[in-house]
Structure 1
């Protein structure tokens, strides 16, 4: 019985990286869609980011300068953005509360 457990475990360990390599990369998919002229439905993409220098560098490498938004400005603005923007975890929570309150 224990050999079945080990066989399944070994199969999961060896096949896991193969399946992970085929997993779509979200940022690459969004870049491909924009390169093909497709625009997202809302054309306003937010990423939850911390305010560290490492995050800012990584975001700048992928999308340009890291521009942080507040829940109030995201909720009030209606124009499309040319590049994704950042929002902190606390502002995401506030935005979710605002969207929930306006949906009622």
Structure 2
């Protein structure tokens, strides 16, 4: 019985060592240098463009789902599903073009 416990303990210690080594290797390999930008406004604009790119991607996914939903409603002749599909299409369109809509509202700034 004692022999089984020591084997399990050694296996657990070996797994812990492998995980620790893997964590150290990942932290060394994935380390990147971060340099300060000359213009802080450029950094904010880059972040804004990145975030709006993510929002646009989500909007495109919702837009695609809306197209599928409308197509399925036309096949099944279900008016409530068709209404939901059209609402999803409208919401996906608004989310996809959110940056352009905000630019129009704020006057291009």
TM-score normalized by structure 1? 0.29
**1 or 2, which has the higher helix percentage?**
2
Report which structure shows greater RCO (CA 8 Å, sep ≥6).
1
Query: Whose strand fraction is larger, Structure 1's or Structure 2's?
Result: 1
Q: Which has the greater radius of gyration?
A: 2
